Structure 1
Amino acid sequence: MATGSKKVIYAALAGNALISVTKFAAATYTGSSAMMSEGIHSLVDTGNQGLLLYGMKKASRPADDKHPFGYGVELYFWAFVVAILIFAVGAGVSLYEGIQKIVEPHPVTNPIVNYVVLGLAMIFESVAWFIALREFTSIKGKRSYMQAVQQSKDPALFTVLFEDSAALLGLVAAFIGLAAAQILGLPWLDGAASVVIGIILGGTAIFLAYETKGLLLGESASPELVANIRALVAETPNVDALNELRTMHMGPDDVLLAVSLDFKNDISVGQVEDAIYKLEQTIKARFPMVRRLFIEVQNRKHHEEMVRQETDAAATEAH
């Protein structure tokens, strides 16, 4: 995960840094509102990739007394911050620039400069987008792209993919807006393109915020991993029943697993301890992403009674 994600982020970071400088220079020279919005867009994306790299570095810190489950969730926090920045800065400023240009339209000077910059930007963005798409395709398996995004636990990867996709759509909108303003002699269409770019960024930000919010709240491991662990528990000698199995991602490759087991009544405490030890060793060997594993020994009837009590208490609080 980390290597692939970092490769995608570095590619996007390099491309956006170069593109943003070029776009701002073109916007200043020609007075294009759409080009200014695109410059802001690329600058925000550059900062976002820096934040994702920062989040990955912070998330890699080992667990300590203050954070006994590690810092993996910090990546999810910074990914959520990225979504907020796209919405607040990228979309907000683009909408403002566009509305200002619509209210007070003025012609774009030397439009050929903008077309050249947009063409180069499309090439750079396409390369970054292709790298992100190839990396994401390699891990999505047989799932659709939308299912893969919804089930992904690596926000760095799908955030960059969506940022690059939004960037390409924004470039197309800017190109159409500038061409229409020049051909039709309607300068306000340049501002309309900026508004469209703002809408694209806003939609992207809302979607990313929704996906990363779920990761922040704590999402379970993939159904495949849960099913495999269930099958492994079922094969464990002296286990009478699996009462409960809960998982939560603490990071892209960091799963917390809690299991409640009912062992056969005719075995010794030593046999229970040996079974738990062997089960822990087997789970961690087969599924390295399970970093923390807690196994509770509990009679099935007692477990069901506890679940009923918790359900009743929750229902009482709800009323």
Structure 2
Amino acid sequence: MTSTPDRRTTAPDPARASGRSDDREGLAGDEGAGGGESLLTVALALAANVLIAVAKSVAAVVTGAASMLAEAAHSWADAGNEVLLLIAHRRGERAADAAHPLGHGREVYVWSLFAAIGLFGVGAGVSVTHGIQELVHPEPAGSFVVAYVVLAIAFVLEGVSFAQAWRQSRGDARRRHRGLVEQVLATSDPTVRAVFFEDAAALVGIVIAAAGIAAHQVTGSPVPDAVGSILVGVLLAVVALVLIARNLRFLVGEAVDPGLRDAALRRLLAMPEVARVTSLRLEFVGARRVFLVGAVDLAGNPVEDEAAHVLALVERRTRDVPGVVGAVLSLAEPEEPALVPADG
């Protein structure tokens, strides 16, 4: 290619026209399920956690069990987190504007980070603190049947919420040919990741609380109950730190995985105007949203003026692919090697 390299940026257009028919699934489809299912996952988790939190709070007052109080704090923290996740989803979905040409997608990681910090401070902090206080100043517990009934109901409701998060994540994992946990950790959608891990931790926490209360009932000692409260807090702290770390990485800027990059490369090479792709970088700028930068060699060796128009056309087609919120393409240097998808 002998044309003078030309570089231009195409701002995303919220009301953009559809691209070619073979682009309609888009990179959003390659990365995971859409935002509508994520919203359902969070809303279901919120409804379940509010009901569970009320029931556990009543049971904590009636029984005086430390593990039950830890579980009540856990559920209230989860309910508060779900509210923050709903805010994250709403604000992250706002359309691009002149001040935010790539949209507001990264804001979803800010609110999800707040939710994870809340889980650490409220859920983990209250559970560990109360467990330690119970060890230092033990108090008797009673009405164990109430505790077991509430925990059983909570397990069922948490299971329903977790099943939705698991079903969505499993579908995404199959599309990406990944393991379930690998997909949950890698997904660019922090709301699904938060609900999945929080519900999983809730189910484990209920088992820990039941074991601590049962040991208290059998031995008459409040120590197992207090230890159960501390273990629930440690569990929540670990989950919160994982969520905080993942949100921070996406806020700083996370490159897409090789599979998604190959999908974008194949789409570029499928365009008749593109002969070669020599550079390609994609970064997440929100849940299922990427920003693309690359260098291409145009087919037919067009002259400079024509090359500029063809390059602009390729950029428009690229940003018309669902999931791509912006694209910057330049003309490749002749000596640069061509990129080839991993599957050839």
TM range (shorter): 0.7 to 0.9
1:78 positional shift: 1.1
- How far apart in 2 are the matches of 1:240 and 1:120? 61
The corresponding residue for 1:206 is 241
Superposed CA offset, 1:153-181 (max 9, x none): 11101110100000011100000000001
The corresponding residue for 1:296 is 330
Of residues 275-284 and 115-124 in structure 1, the stretch that sits farther from structure 2 once superposed is 275-284
Superposed CA offset, 1:279-319 (max 9, x none): 2344345x311121111235356x89xxxxxxxxxxxxxxx
Please report the TM-score for the alignment, with normalisation by the length of structure 1. Answer: 0.88
Q: Which residue of the other structure, out of 56, 59, 71, is the alignment partner of 1:26?
A: 59
Letter in 1 for 2:326: R
Q: Secondary structure at the match of 1:109?
A: coil
- How far apart in 2 are the matches of 1:156 and 1:238? 38
The corresponding residue for 1:57 is 90
Q: Which residue of the other structure, out of 269, 276, 281, is the alignment partner of 1:246?
A: 281
Select the structure that is richer in helix: 1
CA RMSD of aligned residues (A): 2.1
Q: Secondary structure at the match of 1:77?
A: helix
Letter in 1 for 2:147: N
1:105 positional shift: 1.3
Q: Are the equivalent residues in 2 in contact too, given 1:106–1:188 (CA < 8 A)?
A: no
The corresponding residue for 1:312 is none
5 Å-filtered alignment, 1:216-227, equals 216-227=251-262
Q: Secondary structure at the match of 1:65?
A: coil
Distance change in 2, residues 1:260/1:182 (3 Å): same
Q: Secondary structure at the match of 1:186?
A: coil
Segments of 5+ residues of structure 1 without an aligned counterpart are 305-319
Segments of 5+ residues of structure 2 without an aligned counterpart are 1-33, 338-344
Greater RCO (Cα-Cα under 8 Å, separation 6 or more): 2
- How far apart in 2 are the matches of 1:281 and 1:104? 68
Q: Are the equivalent residues in 2 in contact too, given 1:45–1:163 (CA < 8 A)?
A: yes
Superposed CA offset, 1:23-75 (max 9, x none): 11111122111111111100000000000000111111122233222110000
- How far apart in 1 are the matches of 2:273 and 2:123? 59
Of residues 265-274 and 10-19 in structure 1, the stretch that sits farther from structure 2 once superposed is 265-274
Please report the TM-score for the alignment, with normalisation by the length of structure 2. Answer: 0.82
Counting aligned pairs with the same residue, the percent is 33
1:122 positional shift: 0.8
- How far apart in 2 are the matches of 1:131 and 1:80? 22
